[in-house]
Structures are given as C-alpha cells and as structure tokens.
Structure 1
C-alpha cells in the first residue's frame, strides 16, 4: 500500500486503538447487498431464505481464509520472513479466486446436506457474486492495489474519469493504469447482463447461469490481469490468475456443451428447486 500526497486515506475512522478501513467497509457492504439480492432470487426459485443465510454464514469465513491463504501461498517468499503479517488482511492481500474456491466448497457440501440442487444454488449466487466482486474492487482502489502499468496523466484524463480516481492512481511516483476500474466495470456489466437474461424461458438450464458467470468473469480477468504489475506469479513468467482464468474459461464452455449433450433432461433454471415444490 502506498499512501502519497493527494491519495485518499484508506482508514475510514478510528475507534480508540481500532482502525476501521474503507477496504473492510466496502467488502462488507458488497456482501450485504449480494446476500439481499440472493435471498430475493432464491425465494423465486423455491430456496428457503434461512438456508441461504445459513450457507453464507458458513461460506464467509471459509472464503476469507482461503482468499488469504491463496495470496500468502503465492507470496510465501515474503510472508515466510514476516509471519506476523499473515493475518493482516486489513492492509489488503486477499485473492478473489481463493475466496471462490473456499465458498464453492461450502456451497457444495451445504447443498448436499440440505437437499438443495447444487447447480441451482450456484446459479442464484453467480450474478450477485459478480456484482460483489465489482464493488469489492473499490476496496483495492482505496488501498492503491490491483493497479496496472505506468501511464501518463494525459492518458488518465482522456478516460474522462473523476479526478479523485486519477490522483489515487499516482503510485510509487508514477501514474498507473486503473485496472481495478476496468475490472469493476466488467463485473458490473456482466451482472446486469446475467440478471437481465436469466428469467427468459428456454434459455438457461440449471447450472448455466453460473457457467455464464464463470466464462464472463474469467474472460475479462485474463486480459485485465495481463495489464497489472502486482500479479501473483509462478516463477517470473506465469501469472497465476491468467492461468486459472484460461482454464476456467475453456472449462466452462466445454462443461456447458457436455452437459447440454449428455444431460438433455436437466431442469431449466426457471423450474427452481424441484425438491421443494410446496414453496411458491
């Protein structure tokens, strides 16, 4: 994190010795909004709201632990010498893909235990998770993270973005590409498209809303990650998120095609939870 003259203060307020960071406030706000929207959609698909709340209570700590562990593992050369910093998530340093792995495991086992179709729950969660990711990037903005290569002030001004964003992109003595903003816009656009099309009859089988989320997000993340200079790396030449994005993108397309061909009787997304037919 690089707090320079003109940069925004990443600390929202202090309560005695406790510092409340904008990063945490933004992430928490995204989670609250995503939960609200998931419950609204879940009710339409005959998934009990209590089940969604319970699942989220389990998923959040696992998502946080996996997100931090993922980041620490790929930055072990630093954290092995600074063990006291491993839990310092308030300074940033969590990985979206790690959180998705942790939360995904909880969704799978929770739904199996509750007799809720796993793919349906993922369909409900996918769009709102994408929205939360878009909002969460503004936490990176406050911490001056997830930035891109050096650019010019003129380039940033030509983007016609607010001046406070331009000033926050002055990092390590140079202006940077606002890759956090590119990804935030990409995520929010994907969210809008998914919620606009998911209720169309005969369009999505169960699981395909979620796969659309995976394909959309990984496609954009692959290219945006290539613009960043703070990527997690394997060696000095493979960006972890680019590699995983490529795998998810092609894997999502193949899985969609295979499921359509081999499981033509899969229920439609709009059919909802057929294991709970009484709920309207």
Structure 2
C-alpha cells in the first residue's frame, strides 16, 4: 500500500494519470516525458551543501514531496522505482560521460542510464537524468538514427567493440529541414543520412553491462566523488535544466549565471532567447516560474569554479 501511495504522489507531481487503455510502450513514453517536463535536472545541493544521498526514501522525499530536482542517480533512481511498480523490467547501466574539452570519457558509474523491457519484449534506453536527455525513450537498437522529438539520437558501437556509445545532434545546415509524418508521443526510427547531422557524444557503457545485475546501492560508492571530485562539473557549476513538450518542444536552461531558452523544430535546436545573466534577486522567481522549484534556502548561482 505504501508503494501505491508513493506512485500516486509521483504521478500527481508529473501530471500523468495511471495507465488506462494504453500499451506499455505508450505509458512508458508518457512517464518519461512527464518526468522530464516536471522535475528538473539540478545541481544545487552538490555545490552549496555538498550533499548527495541516494537512499530511496531520501530521493522520493526530495524530488516528489519537496518538489526539487536532482542529478542522474537521483532522477533515474526514482524513475526506476516507479517503473518497477508498473512491472517493467529495469536494468541499471553504469556509464562514463564524454568530455568535449579532453575528448575522453569519465570513469564508469559517473552516470546511470536504464534499459527498460516492456511486457512484449521491446527494449528501450531510458534516461531522465542527463539534462540532454532524449525526450522520449530510445529503442535499444544500434546503427539506426532515431528522432526523439527533441533531436536525433544514435546508439553505436565503439571501434574496439567494447562499448555502446550514445550520441545526439541536430541538422548541420540551418536551411536543411526534417519533419515527421507522425505526431505521436514516441521515438521514430528515421531514414536520414547521418552526415546531415552535427553529432556530439553523450556517454558510453559496456556492451556486456547486462552480465551483472546492479541496484542503486551499487552506485553509493561513487557519491563522494560526484560531490567532491574536481573532474566532475556537477559539483562546481550551477546547472538547472528542464524540458518542455506542449505547446512547443524545447528546454529552459541555467548554466552558471546564464539563462537561455530553446525550441526544437524541424530537426533544429533553435535558441529562443540569447543567454542572459541572472542576478541573485532574480533566481528565486526564475526557479519558480520556469523550473517548478520552490527552494527554501537562498540559492546563489555559481559559474564554474575550475
């Protein structure tokens, strides 16, 4: 009964009803979009109070009851808990994040993603904790191009065949256009030349990740590093990011003291407003109006300390 109550609280938080007359796949997409458009990715606790607690009770209290956001292990930890209550099969995936500056990947366990299997056996890559998430779940298929409403995504194998790599992108040419005939809430496998797309790497994970069953507890050893390591940007720059779906697919984003808005349209990411500096007086109002956050303590935005 306790889990039923928690599920209902979560569904109220993301404004999604219990499943009715929809397939497992459709409902998974509803939950994925609902989470990303109501619970922001945010790093504030890692910066000013140096705290990351991934006990399930604490994650639920923070993200649902206190109406906060979180980082990957909090966001995907909560999502996995909810999906288990709807009888989806969940496999947690240890990931290493790609750093453009060094053109290298971080250690595994610095990010968590999930492979979700529905009752009919369809497998998806789901991630509600990366900020640059696909808006809808990706099919767990390699070497095809997928369109997840907010851009193109592709799961490819590394040259050494040891890793899956996730990359995302938008059309290179601003005059190039791409449109879908379907307007449904789902990812589409599309027939498009990958060379038309400006790709950027997101993260990688071992091809044999499913040889070991992982739980959220297996990620606890990494929490001190996520909070304190100078190599992890999450603990030394204010980041807050939330997706939008209706009336437009887009995003609101804070990076340091810079705020910007985006829309995704015809295969392009279009900056709706140029980055603008936010002073301390504007923070509380901005977090409430754009990110659904009402944080009791004072939040001071921090540009990268490194």
TM-score with structure 1 length normalisation? Answer: 0.30
Structure with the greater alpha carbon radius of gyration? 1
